[in-house]
Structure formats: structure tokens, C-alpha cells
Structure 1
Amino acid sequence: MPSDASGRRAPPVAIRMRWGQVATGSVAILLLAALAWLVAQSQSILWGEIPGYLFDPRILAGVVLTLELTAGAMAFGIAAGCILAAMAISSNPVLRAIAAGFVWWFRGVPLIVQIFLWYNIALFVPRIGTIDVNMLITPALAGFLALGLHEAANMTEIIRAGLKAVDRGQREAAQSLGLKPLQTMRTIILPQAVRLVIPPTGNQAIGMLKASAIVSVIGMRDLLTMAQQIYAANFLVIEMLFVASIWYLGITTVASIGQHFLEKRFAPKGRGD
């Protein structure tokens, strides 16, 4: 039995049973168990076929393309977002207007519409000089541009909000110390803004991974498209969708773990738990 500071035994702590939590938790467990049993007992799903397709070369090729598309679109989005965020907080009204217009369009138009627009851009811009746009804008490039520009608009707002969140008094203090604007941005503003920008950027990367499946509508050979091509031949529709889902879940789980440790690395001292 634990003792207090004077050495006397402390009275036992009574554990209060929360029957509401017990009841709701039990109901939730029963519902999950019933759902799992229902799915497992389905005679329409050939569960034994799923492991054999997890490492099918066509599926692996789709996984690689999905990762490449996600990484490329995120890198482009972050780079363009940094430039546009700097324009958005600029004192130049023209630059602010351009950044605001970019964000307004690429955040407001649904991603799938942007994909179709880029894929069919040759219908209203058939040539650029001597270049045939129809040959230039392949499905891969159309998907990359749509995802990258959409992500750039999102990252612009994330980075702009992170920069604005740093107290203005710190800028004024740096100016009083004789620091130039670029020095202030590099040594004072950015180190603090990065801590605010990293968590939503990680969420955007995970969201981008899942959103990349939309490019299947224009025939890119990503993970979902490869799964669709396989089940079009063997008619194992649900099984192949489970294969794709397992890969998506695995990749997003790894990305979430990486995001967790990255956030801890940049978190202020005492807040890394």
C-alpha cells in the first residue's frame, strides 16, 4: 500500500466503474466482431487468392508508380507553395492577387475535374509553337500536373498560415537589431514556422497518396489501375480491391509513423511526447 510524505499509509483509491463506457465499448466490440464474421463467412470472396496477388509484378509496378507520383507531386507542391506563400504575404498587391487567384482556382475546382482538364488540354490548346500538345501531355504528365498544382495551392495556405502565426513582434525585434529581411526570415521566422507546417504537410502527403488513385480515370498505370486491369481479366473484383487496399494501408501506416517521429524531432522541448 502506498504511503504519504509522513510515512502513513494512504487510504486505498477506489476504482469507480463507469458502466456507460463499459456498455458502449461492449456494443462496439460486438458490432465489429459481427462485421468481421459476416465478411469472413462470405462465399463470394476467394480469400485464398489475395496473398498470391499482393506481390504480383503488375501490382508492384503500380505501387512504384503511385509512390513516384506522390513524391513528385508533393515535392512540386511544397516548392511551388513556398514561392506562392511568399507572394501571398508580400507587400506587393499584384503578387498577392496572383497568389490568391492561384489558390482560389486550384483549391476550388475538384481534383478529378483538373485531371480531365489537363488530359484534354489539347482540345483548346492544340499546339505550342511547333509542339503537338496532344503528344506532350501524356496521362502521366496530366496526372502529375493536376496533383502537383492542386497540392501547391494547399501548401500555399499551410505555409502562409505558418509564417503568419509567428508573432510580429519578433520581426520588429529582429529589425531593431539590424537584421535584414532575409536574415530575419532564415534565422527567426522559418525555424518557428517549420514546427507549425510539418504536421499538416504530413497529413497532405498521406492524403496525396490516397488521392493519387484518382489518376486511374485517365489510364495511368498506378496501383488502383493495375488492380482494375487484373480483375477485368480474372473477375476477382473484391479480391483485387482488397489487394490494393492492403498496399494503401501499409504505405499510409509507414508514412504515419514517419510523420510521428518527424513531428517529435521538430517539436518544442517538453512537447515531444
Structure 2
Amino acid sequence: YIGLEFAQAFRRFGAEVTVLEKGPRLVAREDEDISAEIARFLAAEGINVRTGIAALSFSRAGDNVHVRVEGDGGPPDLEASHVLVAIGRVPNTGDLGLDAAGVARDARGYIPVDDSLQTNVSGVWAMGDCNGRGAFTHTAYNDFEIIAANLLDGADRRLSARIPAYALYTDPPLGRVGMSEAQARASGRPLLVSSRPMARVGRAVEKGETIGFMKMVADAQTKRILGAAILGTSGDEAIHGILDMMNADQPYDVLQWAVPIHPTVSELIPTLIGDLKPAP
């Protein structure tokens, strides 16, 4: 995710950019249609995307870096001025003295917590990136809200009640909430699915930014929205209407018959819902 954001930024600064991905496609957490559309618009900007990379090695080449690439059948040798290695993060918990307090860490260094964010030691909580339960600014702050409400207000807020939501800040951005279509299918429940192109969004047409699409998956029996993705202009903002409906635990037809403001990206969401059909 961070790698793609930087790749597009540096390409727009004028740099030649190659993205090397170990997996068979970009952003493998997302549905295949999302991955394909992101790869398509990055390639259209002149970014060279190579997937299925088996191994990389680096060596100095004067002031540059020589990159040896194996596995995808493409050119085995690249020369670059800079290399960004975006392979994830590890928590900075090694020097906190947790062992002295008896607070457990897992094999990767994360601090396991229960549904109230309490560690294995009574009276000790862990919030934010160190617990491995979100690694976003908004989830870290929500960790604080859960702990503070439970300790200070006598509430019984739970981590499991949080609906996952995040964004990929390419241009256009991807706004995501809840399950992907692939995750929903894996759950075995009867599904309704829908997809509409951003070219049907008035605001996108006005701005000349019609790349992308929005999609939704819902439970056919309960009529609850299970997840959605908006890959397109202002998708990171428009997704919140769907997130709010999921948090309110309301059936999708409540949102379907809402009257959104024209012309906005959210304007197409009722149409998206109206087009929900049984998953093949």
C-alpha cells in the first residue's frame, strides 16, 4: 500500500518507477477486480509493474543501486537511483522492559490483547500499533476510546465491535470497509453483489476523473451490508456513508431510499444498492 502510494508520487515527480511485487498481483488483500484496476491506472501513468518476483538482491553500482530480479521472466537486471523496500512493519516493543512486567509478546513482537485491549497482565492495556490490531491512526485512536470509556465511564466497549475500514491513497484513492467480496464468499452465506463504474458518477464526470468503480456485497438473508469498496475520486470520503450504515446495523434498503446530494460521489450509492443481485 505505502509502496504504491510512493510509486505514483515519484512517477508524477518525473522519475522512472518500477514496482516489484512478490505476489501474483498488487494489493492481494483486495478483490482481483480492484487489483487489476489499480495495476491498469498505474501502468497508464508509465509505472512498470512486475509481479511474481521470486527473489531480489541489491549491490552498489557507482552512485546507483543494481537490482537483480528473479522469477517473473522479465529483465533480470535493473539500475536505480533509489530503492524503497516496502515489506511491512514490526512493532518497536523490544526495549520497553515488558519481560520485567510480565507482559507477553508474540513471535513478531506484538503484544496480544483481549477484546477490551487488556494484556495478559491484569491492569495493563496495550493500544495502537504495538498490539497488531489495526496499525492505522484511526484504529489506534479508537483503541484509546475503548480503554478510556471502559475505565472512566463504566462502559463495556469491545474491540470486536469495530468494523474495519481503511484507504489506499493512490490517485484515485481506494476506500474500503468490512469484508471483500472474496472474504464474504468464503463465509458461505448467501450473498448479493453489485458493481457500478465511476463513469456513472456525476461528480467524477464533472472533474474528468472517471477511473475506477464502486462495489458492494450484502447478506441476502439479513439484508445487512457486509463490505464495500469505492475505487475512484473521493472514494475515501464517500465510503463513510456505508461505514455509518454498517455501524448502525441497519438493512441496506434504509440507505437505498436515502436522498443524497447532487452532484456527489455518494449520489451513486443508492443506485449501487438497487443493483444488488444474487452472487453467481
Higher strand share: 2
TM-score in same-fold range (> 0.5)? no
Q: Which has the larger radius of gyration?
A: 1
For this structure pair, what is the TM-score category when the shorter chain's length is used for normalisation? Answer: under 0.3
Q: TM-score, normalised by structure 1?
A: 0.24
